[in-house]
Structures are given as C-alpha cells and as structure tokens.
Amino acid sequence: MVTLYVASSEPYSGKTLTCLALGTRWQRQGLRVGYTKPLGLLPVTMGEEVTDEDSRFVAEQLKLDVSPSHLCPILLNEDTCPCHMEAEEARGKVKEAFAASAAGTDVILVGGTGSLLSRGSMVGLEGATVVEMLDAKVLLVCRCESFLDVDSIMACHRVVGERLVGVILNLVPARVKDRIRDEVVPYLEGMGMPVLGLVASDPVLHSVSVRELAEATGGELLSGEEAAEELVENFVVGAMGVEGALRYFRRTPRKCVITGGDRSDIQLAALETPTKCLILTGDLRPRHTVLARAAELGVPVLLVSHDTLRTVTTIEEMLGKLRVREPRKIARAVEHFEANLELAKLDAALGLG
C-alpha cells in the first residue's frame, strides 16, 4: 500500500481538489483508493457523527465506505477546539482513522489542512509530524502567483526532504504563466524538487453558482430559481452612469452585476447584456419592470440586505475560500490535471506505474 500526503504551503491552494482528481484517476486505472484527513476545519453532521465537510465530499465522490470519525478524526473549530488534547491522544486518533481508511486499499490519500508548516501544531500534528508518523510520501500543491512563492515552497521542502515526490504549481495567473514555467520551474528542479507541472487559474473552476451566492450573502431569490445552478465567472459593480455601464457590461461575459436596489436604470442595462445574475443591495426591492424583464430572460434576481460595499466584501471572501463541488467542475479539474501535469511521473515515484 502507498500513502500519499497531499500538502500545501498555504491554505486554499487546491489540496482537496487534487485528492479528488488523483483518486478519480487512480480508480479509473483499477486501483483501490482510500482517503482520510487527520485535521478538519468545517464540521458537518453525518448520521450521528460529526466530520469535516471536505472529507465527506471526497468520500462521497470516490464512493468510499468509511465511518465519519475515520474520515476526519479531529476537528479544529470553535465548538470542538482540541487545544487541551494531549499529543499522544491526538496521534492515536489519527493512527486509528488511518488504519481503518487504508484497509484493503492500494493507495491512500491523506489530505493536509492549511499550511504544512504550522496547522495542527497545537495538538502535535503539524504536517511534518503526520508525514513521519504515517510513513507517507508528500505531494506539495502550491498556489503560485509570483516568484516570491518559491520561499514557502523551499521551506516545505526543507521540512519533508526526500519524502517529497512531486510539486504542483497551482492557480497560476495567465499574466505570469510564462515566467513561472521558464524561471521558477527550472529553479525548483535544480534544487531537487520534482515539479509535475503547473495548472493555470481557470475561470470555470473559480466560478460560483447563483445559489452559492445566495447562501453566502444571505440573499433572497426574487426570481430565477430554475437558473440558480448557473455559474458566474465575473463580477461587476454597477455604480456608474448607464452609458458607461453598458459599455462595460457588453464586454464582460457570464457576469453577476451588483448594484443598489433603487438603480433600475443599471439593472435594465445589465439585462440587455450577457448577465447570469443580478444582486440588488440595500434591501430595496426592484421595480416590477425589472423583475418582469429578468423573468422573461431567465436571469435570477437576488435581494440582499447589506449595502454594496459589504456585499462585495462578502463575495470576495467567499471566492478566496471557494470549494469545488459541482460535477462539471470536478470533471474539468480532472481534465486539467491530466492535460497539464506529468502524472505518470508521480505514478512512477509512488511505484504505481
């Protein structure tokens, strides 16, 4: 059995999606795949047990039959703060969960939480300790937006050493893709780190459904329930004159327009261009003409109680922590991984080739 710990140098770098993509790929190859996540941050109830939301999602997608307590044995949140748990007890829980999740598998994915360098230190379960305890190989998934991110990648390499079997440079912006490929990748490889490739930031993977927007903002869908699963890729704040707004709206596809509920001129202008959703702020209900036109076009209209600035801030925070859940996004992620990464190189390093 092969144990692969999927880590990152900072939170929200794509660890869970990587586990899902690799697990899906290996299952297609006929391998028996397991999964566990020692530390979780997002509690969710499954039956009578509480586990981590990311862990539950991965287990469902990979169709794994594992008890919730073994999917994620320790939760780090305000309700279940384990800071007084003895390190020996915490490690015992992780070992038990790992053994149960790994039973009968060819390869088990162990999901990291937050930064490899620090998360879990309060209970003696920072990434390096877990890696040693489980005798795992390490795959490092790093958000790479500039050459400055090399610092954190180097720091992680120093901690895990020869256990590192691959580095994925993820969420690479298009504007720096060439420089990352031509300068950062050769540098890392010259320092002894096997880089599997880089994955560019994808607008579809970082899109968000109208329903997710409603949940994040606490908004009320006034119309367009049937289109609530539509994906929004771009956001525009409608705070300008109608003529200027129209020019901007026309060149921004698959967008959500955020504007005051009293700006019917902006709302109608947005509806004359490719718009996926209207978010109206200030708890001000729109005119009937706006709702009628939105209904005619099938565009959801979301009413929120906060002002525009607060709404934009809420959405920005949501996007920074976005988790891929939709099947079409998962399929796209697997395609991106297979197209842009040398996964055969990873298979060989793990002895799975």
End-to-end Cα separation, the chain, in angstroms: 13
Single-letter amino acid, residue 143: R
| pLDDT in the model for residue 26 | 94
Q: Tell me: do 266 and 316 sit in the same domain.
A: yes
Question: What's the CA gap between 288 and 277, in Å, rounded?
Answer: 17
Question: What's the CA gap between 224 and 227, in Å, rounded?
Answer: 5
Angstrom distances, CA of residue 97 to CA of 110, 181, 276: 11, 39, 43
Question: What's the CA gap between 124 and 268, in Å, rounded?
Answer: 57
CATH number of the domain to which 236 belongs: 3.40.1390.20
pLDDT at 325 over 70: no
Q: Tell me: do 235 and 102 sit in the same domain.
A: no
What's the pTM? 0.78
Q: Tell me: do 161 and 218 sit in the same domain.
A: no
> Is the model more confident about 78 or about 198?
198
Exposed/middle/buried for residue 327 (C-beta within 10 Å: 0-12, 13-18, 19+) = exposed
Q: Share the mean pLDDT of the chain.
A: 89
Q: Tell me: do 71 and 157 sit in the same domain.
A: yes
Residue 275 contacts residue 249 (beta carbons within 8 Å): yes
Single-letter amino acid, residue 297: L
Q: How confident is the model at residue 89 (pLDDT cuts 50, 70, 90)?
A: confident
Share of the chain above pLDDT 70, in %: 95
Question: What's the CA gap between 18 and 61, in Å, rounded?
Answer: 13
| pLDDT in the model for residue 321 | 63
pLDDT at 45 over 80: no
How many residues are present in the chain? 353
Share of the chain above pLDDT 90, in %: 58
Question: What's the CA gap between 260 and 279, in Å, rounded?
Answer: 8
241, two tokens = 């004159």
> Is the model more confident about 81 or about 289?
289
* 169, β-bridge pairs: 142, 198
Question: What's the CA gap between 149 and 308, in Å, rounded?
Answer: 33
The parent domain of residue 56 ranges over 2-205+323-350
Kindly state the DSSP code that residue 341 receives in the 8-state scheme.
B
| pLDDT in the model for residue 34 | 97
pLDDT at 324 over 70: no
* 200, β-bridge pairs: 172
Q: Output b/e per residue, 220-248; b: 16+ Cβ within 10 A.
A: ebbbbeebbebbbbebbbbeeeeeebeeb
Q: Tell me: do 60 and 144 sit in the same domain.
A: yes
CATH number of the domain to which 133 belongs: 3.40.50.300
Q: Tell me: do 201 and 94 sit in the same domain.
A: yes
Question: What's the CA gap between 49 and 266, in Å, rounded?
Answer: 48
215, two tokens = 């949940």
Q: Tell me: do 279 and 197 sit in the same domain.
A: no
Q: Tell me: do 308 and 344 sit in the same domain.
A: no
Q: Tell me: do 10 and 156 sit in the same domain.
A: yes
Q: Tell me: do 41 and 125 sit in the same domain.
A: yes
| pLDDT in the model for residue 320 | 67
| pLDDT in the model for residue 42 | 78
| pLDDT in the model for residue 305 | 94
Single-letter amino acid, residue 139: L
- Hunting for tokens 């129209």 — which residue is that? 246
Domain count along the chain: 2
Question: What's the CA gap between 283 and 220, in Å, rounded?
Answer: 10
Q: How confident is the model at residue 334 (pLDDT cuts 50, 70, 90)?
A: confident
| pLDDT in the model for residue 191 | 94
> Is the model more confident about 202 or about 190?
190
Q: Tell me: do 180 and 236 sit in the same domain.
A: no
Q: Tell me: do 194 and 232 sit in the same domain.
A: no
- On the CB side of 228, how many CA atoms lie within 13 Å of its CA? 13
Question: What's the CA gap between 302 and 31, in Å, rounded?
Answer: 45
Q: How confident is the model at residue 85 (pLDDT cuts 50, 70, 90)?
A: confident
Tens digit of each residue's pLDDT (9 = 90 or more) over 136-184: 999 999 989 888 899 999 999 999 999 999 999 998 998 999 999 999 9
| pLDDT in the model for residue 348 | 94
Question: What's the CA gap between 22 and 33, in Å, rounded?
Answer: 9
Out of 65-69, 81-85, 136-140, 316-320, give the one with best mean pLDDT.
136-140
| pLDDT in the model for residue 79 | 66
Angle among Cα 247, 202, 144 to the nearest 5 degrees reads 115
> Is the model more confident about 318 or about 269?
269
**pLDDT, average across residues 90-95:** 90
